[in-house]
Amino acid sequence: MRLIICFIDDSDFEHDLVRNHIAPSAPELTFVQAYTFEEARERLGREIPALFLLDLWGQDSSVAQPALTSKAELEKQVSQFKTLHDVYEGLENFPGDQTNEYLKRLFTIVDSWRNLFEEVCGRIGQNRKYGLANLRQVRSNFPGVPAVFYTRKSLISDAVAMFRVGADGLFIKPTGQDDGDTKRLTKAYAPVLIEELALIVDRLVEGLQQHDAFYRAQRGQDVKALVSGWRNFRIRKKPSPPAP
């Protein structure tokens, strides 16, 4: 039985990163890649993945006329944001908790940019509906299989939404100064990511056996074979004890 990580993302660039810079660091695992849940289900056939790795942000088809925000509109909004001058003005003479006041003022700037980013993304039809819908499909069709998000653009509100619908984890995609730098960072991060994903499977894989009857009926598969295969994989991956 193949040990599968099923990756769902709507970006060609992200699929290239996984195919060429993450998957090679885990040759004992098989990466099944898809752009939608339906495509993933078709590619999986009757197989059960050990884990789903899901992008969060994607194109929202309900946005009828996606459009870029004009530079003039962005400049107008940014001109109304607090500045570093506002952060430091009068801070030395602030009568209360100076550190807390400093962080509050600084966060006001961060929050303004965060809200603007979410607004701009909304106008072009990019939001978290894509990833959350895929997670709901995973939960319905593959009960007990761990599912985590692997995202670059997530906000605090996204994290709250993810865990409310039962995500098993959240990982941030490395981001460099350009595509080449992002590829380099992704390759360097890949072994860490693979081990973190494996630890999640370690923690949850036993629970799959509760759904054995479901998978036998729906997919004709024995969950125990997947659980056993995963255990053996992890045993092989453990470093040998040092010689006495």
The arithmetic mean of pLDDT across residues 108-130, rounded, is 91
175 with 220, same domain: the answer is yes
pLDDT at position 243 is: 56
Supply 74's token pair: 């962005």
- In 48-202 the beta strands, taken as DSSP E runs, fall at 51-54, 58-59, 126-127, 147-151, 170-172
Q: 171: which strand partners? A: 150
| 218 Cβ contact list (under 8 Å, min separation 6) | none
42 with 147, same domain: the answer is yes
Determine, yes or no, domain membership for 65: no
Pairing of strands 126-127, 58-59: antiparallel
Domain residues for the domain of 146 are 4-60+127-237
- 170 with 159: CB under 8 angstroms? yes
- 81 with 109: CB under 8 angstroms? yes
pTM: 0.87
Exposure on the CB side of residue 65, measured as CA atoms within 13 A: 1
pLDDT at position 127 is: 85
Q: Is 124 helix (H, G, I), strand (E, B) or coil?
A: coil
Beta carbons within 10 angstroms of residue 88's beta carbon:
12
149 with 36, same domain: the answer is yes
153 with 228, same domain: the answer is yes
170 with 101, same domain: the answer is no
* Least confident among 5-19, 145-159, 200-214: 145-159
* Model pLDDT for residues 125-144, shown as the tens digit of each residue: 888 899 999 999 999 999 99
**Per-residue confidence band for 231, with pLDDT thresholds at 50, 70 and 90:** very high
Crossing angle, helix 129-141 and helix 37-44, to 10 degrees? 30
CA–CA separation, 68 and 188 (whole Å): 33
Determine, yes or no, domain membership for 66: no
CA–CA separation, 112 and 78 (whole Å): 8
Number of domains in the chain: 2
28: phi then psi, degrees, rounded to nearest 5: -80, -10
* CATH (domain of 169): 3.40.50.2300
pLDDT at position 200 is: 97
User: Does the pLDDT of residue 20 top 90, yes or no?
Assistant: yes
